């Protein structure tokens, strides 16, 4: 550790409000992981549910002690906790389908109970993987901004913290083969990055109002070229450039796209110029004095060609007659 760095106490991070119980020794995730490793049959799955239920009191107390009308961050962090529970259960691969469904149903039931502690009614949580990935991305951006001062003081420990924070969820949300890529784009932000690298990095501290960022501004795809082709040049605003948050990948891809568009524009300009030149020639030919002169010349040339075509057979016949006459005279002589 750099001597200038201060040891990181995770429970003091602004981003872990309502979640301090997750960073205690022998916390709920550690208990679940230990119990899952020892899991042998469906007969003792109630112990898994018991561990989850036992945490409710801790969560309730923490929310009641720290909640100050901050519904948005409460929703975001409670969703993170229950997403983490779901990922832990679903990625275990030791439960039968029925048992897994029973445990997940208990998790969802407790999620609703936790939100009712302070009537956080507007909190929603889609259960599909695509929505879960977007929740992770949004939380990461918000958390980095909240923890900015701690990151500056202790970047190395914070990087380790990020690996612990996202490892389980990345293991659950990443595809088994290949990679996922993320594009985040609106009037204030332009980021293209590999999904895992993004969540493991503290580089994306964006100073603009993150409340203006929505899930609709996030696109996730296994094909990076799809994201590049869909970069919107309309999103770039010179008015917001000082507060904008662009990463190197996005800027490079933006250069590639603008360069490609410029090449297309150059080709179109050449085509348009050639078409314009052709139209000008047509106009000159049809309506200018030069055009009249050319048409008269062409007409006369055609007449000469026609006359020549008519006279050539006659000349040919005359030539044959002359040839026969000369031949006859030659014999007579």
Give pLDDT tens digits for 151-207. 999 999 999 999 999 999 999 999 988 899 999 998 889 999 999 999 999 999 998
On the CB side of 127, CA atoms within 13 Å amount to 9
Average pLDDT across the chain, whole number: 80
Q: Is the pLDDT of residue 331 over 70?
A: no
Residue 159's pLDDT is 96
The pTM of the full predicted model, rounded to 2 decimals, is: 0.75
Q: Is the pLDDT of residue 258 over 80?
A: no
Greater pLDDT, 124 or 28: 28
pLDDT range class, residue 252, cuts 50, 70, 90: confident
**CB-based contact 23:78 (threshold 8 Å):** no
Tokens of 182: 């993320």
Q: Report how far apart, in Å, the C-alpha atoms of 134 and of each of 66, 129, 213 are.
A: 26, 9, 11
Tokens of 29: 């995730």
pLDDT range class, residue 8, cuts 50, 70, 90: confident
Tokens of 122: 């507007």
**CB-based contact 215:131 (threshold 8 Å):** yes
Long-range contact pairs involving 230-236 (C-beta distance under 8 Å, separation at least 24): 230/183, 231/183, 231/185, 231/190, 231/192, 231/257, 232/185, 233/257, 233/258, 233/261, 235/185, 235/186, 235/187, 235/190, 236/190
Give pLDDT tens digits for 279-314. 766 765 566 665 566 566 666 666 556 666 655 555
Q: DSSP letters of 132-199?
A: HHHHHHHHHHHHHHHTHHHHHH-HHHHHHHHHHHHHHHHHHHS-SSS--EEEEESSSEEEEEEHHHHH
Residue 182's pLDDT is 96
Tokens of 136: 């992770």
The C-alpha atoms of residue 282 and residue 296 are separated, in whole angstroms, by 16
Q: In which element (H, E) is residue 60 found? A: helix 56-66
Residue 324's pLDDT is 46
Percent of the chain with pLDDT over 70: 70
Tokens of 208: 């603009």
The C-alpha atoms of residue 50 and residue 46 are separated, in whole angstroms, by 6
Alpha-carbon 198 to chain mean position: 12
Greater pLDDT, 143 or 319: 143
Q: Is the pLDDT of residue 133 over 90?
A: yes
Q: Is the pLDDT of residue 247 over 90?
A: no
pLDDT range class, residue 318, cuts 50, 70, 90: low
Question: What's the rounded mean pLDDT across residues 267-285?
Answer: 68
């Amino acid at each position: 550790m750099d001597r200038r760095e201060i040891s990181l106490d995770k429970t003091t991070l602004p981003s872990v409000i309502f979640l301090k119980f997750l960073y205690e020794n022998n916390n709920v995730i550690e208990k679940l992981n230990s119990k899952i490793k020892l899991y042998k049959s469906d007969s003792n799955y109630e112990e898994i549910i018991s561990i989850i239920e036992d945490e409710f009191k801790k969560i309730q107390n923490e929310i009641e002690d720290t909640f100050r009308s901050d519904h948005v961050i409460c929703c975001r962090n409670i969703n993170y906790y229950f997403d983490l529970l779901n990922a832990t259960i679903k990625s275990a691969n030791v439960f039968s389908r029925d048992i897994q469904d029973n445990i997940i149903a208990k998790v969802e039931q407790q999620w609703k109970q936790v939100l009712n502690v302070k009537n956080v009614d507007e909190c929603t949580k889609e259960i599909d993987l695509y929505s879960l990935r977007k929740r992770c991305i949004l939380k990461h951006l918000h958390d980095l901004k909240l923890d900015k001062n701690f990151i500056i003081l202790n970047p190395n420990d914070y990087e380790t913290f990020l690996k612990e924070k996202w490892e389980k969820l990345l293991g659950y949300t990443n595809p088994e083969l290949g990679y996922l890529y993320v594009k985040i784009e609106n009037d204030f932000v332009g980021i293209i990055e590999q999904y895992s690298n993004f969540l493991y990095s503290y580089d994306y501290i964006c100073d603009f109002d993150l409340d203006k960022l929505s899930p609709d501004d996030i696109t996730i795809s296994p094909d990076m070229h799809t994201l590049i082709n869909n970069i919107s040049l309309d999103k770039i605003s010179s008015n917001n450039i000082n507060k904008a948050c662009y990463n190197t990948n996005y800027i490079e891809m933006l250069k590639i796209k603008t360069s490609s568009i410029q090449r297309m524009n150059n080709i179109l300009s050449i085509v348009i110029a050639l078409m314009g030149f052709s139209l000008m020639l047509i106009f000159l030919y049809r309506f200018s004095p030069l055009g009249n002169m050319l048409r008269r010349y062409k007409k006369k040339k055609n007449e000469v060609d026609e006359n020549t075509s008519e006279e050539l057979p006659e000349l040919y016949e005359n030539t044959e007659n002359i040839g026969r006459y000369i031949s006859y005279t030659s014999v007579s002589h």
